[in-house]
Amino acid sequence: MSKALSRPSVSVAGVLMHLLPAVMLFTLFAGVGILHVTSRVLVVDMGYRLSNAEGESRSLTRENDRLKLELATLKAPARLERVAREQLGMAMPKGGAVVSIADDRVKTSGTAQARSAAPAVRVAERGTGR
């Protein structure tokens, strides 16, 4: 009867061999899960970075447009004339102060091509339409 009541011998190596596939499967699923979560975190982080870069791009575009408008305002002829008159004390020349200066090449060369290539410099009084 003692043989019938005796248990079969169980070894530690046998138990580990039965558990090894389950442990390997669990490790595989855990690794895949960690990789998936890591990739999702990286995608979300890249999305935040992209959103910040787009916001900065819009901000820089607005700043560039504002600076272009300011430059156009500063280069406006009416403003330049006012600054020349008020801040620099400049004035339009009187009729006798207008001087025409011709290029020497035009005087010596009689061809039309030379005249069109080097036009004479002419200063005219404002409002004369010339």
Q: What is the pLDDT of residue 88?
A: 93
pTM given for the model: 0.49
Q: In the predicted model, what is the mean pLDDT of residues 97-125? A: 60
pLDDT in tens, 38-85: 999 999 999 999 999 999 999 999 999 999 999 999 999 999 999 999
Task: Please compute, for residue 9, the number of CA atoms within 13 A of its CA located in the half-sphere on the CB side.
Answer: 2
Q: What is the pLDDT of residue 130?
A: 41
Give the alpha-carbon dihedral of 70, 74, 78, 81, to 10 degrees: 170
Residue owning tokens 């004390």:
89
Mean pLDDT of the chain: 82
Which residue in 98, 105, 99 sits closest to 119, CA to CA?
105
Residue 100: strand pairing partners: 122
